[in-house]
Amino acid sequence: MTDPAPGNSRPYGGPYRRAAAASCARAVGIVVALVLAYYLVPLDTRSTAGTVVLLVCGLGAVVVVFGWEAWTIMRSPHPRLRAAEALATTVALYLIVFASVYHVLEHDTPGSFTEPLTRTDALYFTLTTFTTVGFGDITARSEASRVAVMCQMAGGLLLVGLAVRLLAAAVEAGLRRRGREP
């Protein structure tokens, strides 16, 4: 099971389609599991230190998962599929980390945002900030919430730029390792 060879008349046949379907299913499963965990894990810390620890540990988890994903891409029989799966996993984890931080911030210090944030509201705000849509219906009010939002904005730019570059390099390395043209 390898990526389709150039010039192959059936480049996306049988084994490759099964691998693509499995990769897509894994990515969807991981995203669903992360969202379920976000809604099920108790997020009721009562201190700024707890929120900082949540953010630092969450971002550490994003870095570790991303590193592991890059390593698996280089060893995968389908590096391109694995890269798409890795990007979905890393971005979903990143968004869940910040949604958790916003929810905890609002829970610990009511009024940190222009309206109380339920978990869904925090996820919505995180996604609108990440996608740079920013409707303006929810905004950060407190200094701590503004710092967290600035961290998300800067981290989002880094994640997109760095992730795309590193995942592309991992795909290249994986293809070279298999003796194929990147």
Q: What is the mean pLDDT of residues 123-135?
A: 93
Structure tokens at 88: 């979905």
pLDDT in tens, 25-53: 999 999 999 999 999 998 876 677 778 88
Q: What is the pLDDT of residue 1?
A: 43
Cβ atoms of 138 and 96 within 8 Å: the answer is no
Q: What is the mean pLDDT of residues 7-35?
A: 83
User: Could you say which architecture CATH assigns to the domain 47-177?
Assistant: Orthogonal Bundle (1.10)
Q: Residue 124 burial (CB < 10 Å; 0-12/13-18/19+)? A: middle
pLDDT in tens, 63-118: 999 899 888 988 888 888 888 899 999 999 999 999 999 999 999 889 999 999 99
Cβ atoms of 2 and 78 within 8 Å: the answer is yes
Q: What is the pLDDT of residue 152?
A: 95
3-state secondary structure 93-143: HHHHHHHHHHHHHHHHCCCCECCCCCHHHHHHHHHHHHCCCCCCCCCECCH
pTM of the model: 0.83
Q: What does the DSSP assignment read for 48-95?
A: HHHHHHHHHHHHHHHHHHHHHHHHHHHH-SSHHHHHHHHHHHHHHHHH
Distance CA 30, CA 91 (A): 11
Nearest to 72 by CA among 62, 83, 58: 83
Q: What phi and psi, each to the nearest 5 degrees, are found at residue 43?
A: -125, 70
SS3 21: helix
Distance CA 178, CA 156 (A): 32
- Residue type present at position 42: P
Q: What are the extents of the domains in the chain?
A: 47-177
